[in-house]
Amino acid sequence: MTTEPRRLRNYINGEFRDAADGRTTEVVNPATGEAYATAPLSGAADVDAAMAAAEEAFPVWRDLVPAERQKVLLKIADAIEARAEDLIAAESENTGKPLALTRSEEVPPMVDQIRFFAGAARLLEGRSAGEYMEGMTSIVRREPVGVCAQVAPWNYPMMMAVWKFAPALAAGNTVVLKPSDTTPASTALLAEIIGGVLEELGHPKGVFNVVCGDRDTGRLMVEHPVPAMVSVTGSVRAGQQVAESAAKDVKRVHLELGGKAPVVVFEDADIAKAVEDIAVAGYFNAGQDCTAATRVLVHESVHDEFVTALAKAAADTKTGQPDDEDVLYGPLNNANQLAQVTGFVDRLPAHAKVEAGGHRVGDKGYFYAPTVVSGLKQDDEIVQNEVFGPVITVQSFTDEDQAVAYANGVEYALASSVWTKDHARAMRMSKRLDFGCVWINTHIPLVAEMPHGGFKKSGYGKDLSAYGFEDYTRIKHVMTSLG
């Protein structure tokens, strides 16, 4: 007896709907490689309907006093907390992530981030009034931008959805959100939760909408004339296409496009502690994190010691099924991603050495062993390009200047870390590293109050923090005659 796949739906104007033309796509559990659901493959009619709903709801939502929007967000945070186990199950099915780690490392930050932006809703302010021309008073208004088209990635479907909708709604915008075509399940559940709160409190149904689909669906959203802003987390190629398309209507664009974080370990670092923390920060979520600690630069005097210890840490790191509480990470998200990671390792140059891992695990699902590769050169493909898998590369450097040159010598500029006991050196490095975040003697912690976002081909705009909130606003100058 076979079980019928679960049917996921779009959420438009307060209603769950199939795609207008009935098209669907299979949703696969990466831990098993088997389809467990279908989701709408949305087309132009679906995007039109979602945008119309968001556009109609915008004036009402915009004109609410901030305290009312705060109340909604706080209620959403409470509702997510109450439905945590359902969301954890959906997210694990989406991604194959360990249940225990999703429970401890994702849901609490999500709830905290929503509550942070609930507070930010009441700080939608401009500069104080002043007279800058005789007989005239100027004030600055900070306003929401309008309808926001948002595209979330598959590596953190729930959390990235929060990073997008929470600041947008707090600032007074309305939202049309598209999850990745491989991970729509938890977003559909978020729509149920958020829609329930909006309905309970009597707010417009079109404030929050979810449209499922593929790249073409996303393209239709970006090209649509209604959105005033497009926010995308994804690949550099996707970001370039979005920016080019949005430029035709001069839409505001917010992009987070990946990273290749350098992890600079100096000779005076606590090597044992560095190895322990870097292994976790490199392999967590199967390395499918734009800030993952996967490009290590180690001073030549401690290089061999570090590589030996990291290879042992990799051998001690476990990947496996979501219900195994001993695993650090689950599978890669999809078959294409498994092929990409495998390809990087298969194409390693002759001078590279696989110190640990370097192979698929099992024949069911998309699991890949924790991997360490040494002997690399700066211009090697695996050093320059984002692998987005559980693969940590190690290079050696001779001095601080060479470390900086190697660290900055990639097209990405999202995150980085420095490991040293020398405070002055840590401060110099934090200035010289060309990345949106520099951690010192740690790697990967994030808090709602601090900004996350990169430079160069890692994109522009900030997530989290007051800066992320302000990205979803516009500035208006108002001048009045005192006469």
Q: Helix (H, G, I), strand (E, B), or coil: what is residue 450?
A: coil
Q: Return all residues near 460 (Cβ < 8 A) that are at least 6 apart.
A: 253, 254, 255, 453, 454
At 124 the pLDDT is 81
At 1 the pLDDT is 46
Instruction: Name the residue ranges covered by the structural domains of the chain.
Output: 6-257+458-479, 262-447
Q: How far apart are CA 165 and CA 176, in angstroms?
A: 9
> Which numeric CATH code is attached to 262-447?
3.40.309.10
Per-residue pLDDT of the chain (483 residues; tens, 9 = 90+): 456 789 999 999 999 999 999 999 999 999 999 999 999 999 999 999 999 999 999 999 999 999 999 999 999 999 999 999 999 999 999 999 999 999 999 999 999 999 999 999 998 887 778 999 999 999 999 999 999 999 999 999 999 999 999 999 999 999 999 999 999 999 999 999 999 999 999 999 999 999 999 999 999 999 999 999 999 999 999 999 999 999 999 999 999 999 999 999 999 999 999 999 999 999 999 999 999 999 999 999 999 999 999 999 999 999 999 999 999 999 999 999 999 999 999 999 999 999 999 999 999 999 999 999 999 999 999 999 999 999 999 999 999 999 999 999 999 999 999 999 999 999 999 999 999 999 999 999 999 999 999 999 999 999 999 999 999 999 999 999 998
Q: Helix (H, G, I), strand (E, B), or coil: what is residue 130?
A: strand
Active site residues: 256, 290
CA 62 to chain centre: 26
Is there a contact between 384 and 457 (Cβ–Cβ < 8 Å)? no
At 483 the pLDDT is 86
Cβ-based burial of 477 (10 A; exposed 0-12, middle 13-18, buried ≥19) = exposed
Is there a contact between 220 and 44 (Cβ–Cβ < 8 Å)? yes
Q: Return all residues near 108 (Cβ < 8 A) that are at least 6 apart.
A: none
- The CA-atom distances, in angstroms, between 384 and each of 283, 359, 410 are 19, 21, 6
Within this chain, domains 6-257+458-479 and 262-447 share the same CATH topology:
no
Q: Return all residues near 78 (Cβ < 8 A) that are at least 6 apart.
A: none
**Domain 6-257+458-479 architecture:** 3-Layer(aba) Sandwich (3.40)
Q: How far apart are CA 73 and CA 76, in angstroms?
A: 5
Amino acid at 417: S
What does the pLDDT look like over 398-432, one tens digit per residue? 999 999 999 999 999 999 999 999 999 999 999 99
Burial 216-240 (b: 16+ CB within 10 A, else e): ebbbbbbbbebbbbbbbbbebebbe
Amino acid at 259: G
Is there a contact between 310 and 276 (Cβ–Cβ < 8 Å)? no
At 2 the pLDDT is 53
- The CA-atom distances, in angstroms, between 74 and each of 61, 83, 111, 150, 170 are 16, 14, 9, 21, 10
pTM attached to this predicted model:
0.96
